[in-house]
Amino acid sequence: MLKGKNAIITGGVRGIGRAIGETFAKQGANVFLCYKSNDEAALAAKSELEQYGTNVEIMKADVQDYQQVGLVVEAAIKAFGKIDILVNNAGITKDKLLMRMTPEDFSEVIDVNLVGSFNFIRHIAPHMIKQKQGRIINISSIAGVKGNPGQANYSASKAGINGLTLSVAKEIGRRGITVNAIAPGYIETDMTGILTEEYKGKLLDAISLGRFGTPEDVAKVAAFLASDDAAYITGQIIGVDGGMMI
Ligand code: NAD
């Protein structure tokens, strides 16, 4: 479905980002993975994904840093000639109840999740506008739609991503670029691995399908949104939550 397409995926060496990279590579896309710190995991991801026969590049960068993001986009264009797909997946949590949350806790999560997504969109948009086509997929969260106690910072960052998605979709739709967000519910990764069994039990009760999501559940939707089949879908916040919202 993605044969010959070139994609940048942020936070692409573990969890949901890693699954998106694998699904894209399996479908024939070349992938450029941006990661924050784990060189070993990045090299392992590169060699594993290369087995699917496409080009896989890795580059260390902090999504919060506008200049570094510019260098990633430049390097990806140089490596592949053009970029068709951007997946803004990198994200962090710093969960605390409001009364314990410091201004630093709040701004760090906003800087990585929301400003990081803006940084990539801002650098890739001129390139996609020039080629008159592109797909931007932002990984949001159910928390950005309905909020969550202990996640004022995270929910605000994800609600911000939803607004960013809608505005940019309106601005650059006529240039042949679609901009969508995926709002996962509870997906089993390192990010959610830190939650207590008691809390996980409560979450499970709220999921209509009766199971937690997998990174692959999210990756398959990202691959569809990145494909030519999703050409007429833009400005959508697509829930992948097993019915947690209903
Ligand atoms: P994860 O912690 O396994 O992966 C997050 C990735 O982001 C890591 O590779 C990390 O290195 C990268 N990253 C973090 N800060 C970065 C920075 N400053 N610069 C570059 N990379 C950075 O988490 P995950 O569960 O795979 O989450 C992926 C995305 O999905 C996140 O945006 C998260 O908010 C979102 N999400 C996850 C869930 C879930 O239940 N796991 C639910 C909803 C949304």
Whichever domain contains 198, its CATH number is 3.40.50.720
Atom of ligand 1 nearest to the CA of 140: 44
Give 89 Cα–ligand 1 centroid separation in angstroms.
6
Residue 224: inside a domain: yes
Confidence band, pLDDT 50/70/90 cuts, at residue 123 = very high
Domain-located, residue 246: no
Number of domains the chain is built from: 1
Q: Give tens-digit pLDDT for 2-60.
A: 999 999 999 999 999 999 999 999 999 999 999 999 999 999 999 999 999 999 999 99
Q: Higher confidence at residue 190 or residue 102?
A: 102
Q: Whose CA is nearest to atom 9 of ligand 1?
A: 11
113 assigned to some structural domain: yes
Q: Which residues line ligand 1 (CB under 6 A)?
A: 10-11, 13-17, 35-36, 62-64, 89-92, 112, 139, 141, 184, 186-187, 189-192
Instruction: Choose the catalytic residue: 52, 66, 154, 186.
Output: 154
The question of whether 52 is a catalytic residue gets the answer no
- Going from the Cα of 174 to the center of ligand 1, the distance in angstroms, rounded, reads 30
pLDDT, residue 30, reads 98
pTM of the model: 0.98
**Ligand 1 atom closest to Cα of 112?**
18
- Could you read off the pLDDT of 152-205 as tens digits, one per residue? 999 999 999 999 999 999 999 999 999 999 999 999 999 888 889 999 999 999
Task: Please report the pLDDT score of residue 198 as a whole number.
Answer: 92
**Per-residue confidence band for 135, with pLDDT thresholds at 50, 70 and 90:** very high
Most ligand 1 atoms within 8 A of CB, residue of 13, 14, 16, 37 to mutate: 16
Would residue 243 count as lying in a domain? no
47 in a domain, yes or no? yes
Q: What is the pLDDT of residue 98?
A: 98
Task: Tell me the CA–centroid distance for residue 80 and ligand 1, in Å.
Answer: 25
Ligand 1 midpoint to CA 18 (Å): 10
User: Residues 193-244: pLDDT tens digits?
Assistant: 888 999 999 999 999 999 999 999 999 999 999 999 999 999 999 999 999 9
Asked whether residue 1 is assigned to any structural domain, the reply reads no
The pLDDT of residue 16? 98
Domain that residue 213 falls in: 6-238
Share of the chain above pLDDT 90, in %: 97
In this structure, is residue 166 part of a structural domain? yes
Give a yes or no: residue 245 inside a domain.
no
Task: Concatenate the DSSP letters of all residues of the chain into one string.
Answer: --TT-EEEEETTTSHHHHHHHHHHHHTT-EEEEEESS-HHHHHHHHHHHHTTTS-EEEEE--TT-HHHHHHHHHHHHHHHS---EEEE-------B-GGG--HHHHHHHIIIIIIHHHHHHHHHHHHHHHHT-EEEEEE--THHHH--TTBHHHHHHHHHHHHHHHHHHHHHGGGTEEEEEEEE-SB-SHHHHTS-HHHHHHHHHT-TTSS-B-HHHHHHHHHHHHSGGGTT--S-EEEESTTTT-
